[in-house]
Amino acid sequence: MAAMQIRRLRLGAAFVLLTYLILHFSNHALGLYSLDAMEAGRRWFLMIWRSPLGTLALYGAIVVHGGLGLWLLYQRRTLRMPGWEAAQYALGLVLPALLASHVVGTRPRAYCAASHPGMRSVRR
């Protein structure tokens, strides 16, 4: 696969991840207005991202973006790079470990429970 195609594929995956993050943080920001607004936003958010297509897009983007990032790092002839690029690789390698506790604490609970408790009970 050509380097330009890899970069475009990785950019597309990054766009899916950015869309997820914007919607996720927007849902949290609704909580500044009211819990009812946050709960309404949560329903829309879950309808998009917990659907089979949304889940496939999100997990596919995570795998593609991370895998291609590691592939591009492997393809480098030297590890000499600007500081911003080194920071980008370092954060890319650290963030999955930091996010694992958040994902494990939220996603399996939605599948195990017959109904998700909602934001009111999570806030207490």
Q: What does the pLDDT read at residue 113?
A: 61
pLDDT, mean over the chain? 85
Q: What does the pLDDT read at residue 120?
A: 55
Burial class (CB in 10 A: 0-12, 13-18, 19+), 61: buried
The counts of H helices and E strands in the chain are 5, 0
Highest mean pLDDT of the ranges 17-21, 68-72, 111-115, 120-124: 17-21
Q: For the chain, give every domain's residue range.
A: 3-123
Burial class (CB in 10 A: 0-12, 13-18, 19+), 13: buried
State the average pLDDT over residues 84-110: 83
Q: What is the pLDDT of residues 36-78, one digit of tens each?
A: 999 999 999 989 998 999 999 999 999 999 999 898 889 888 9
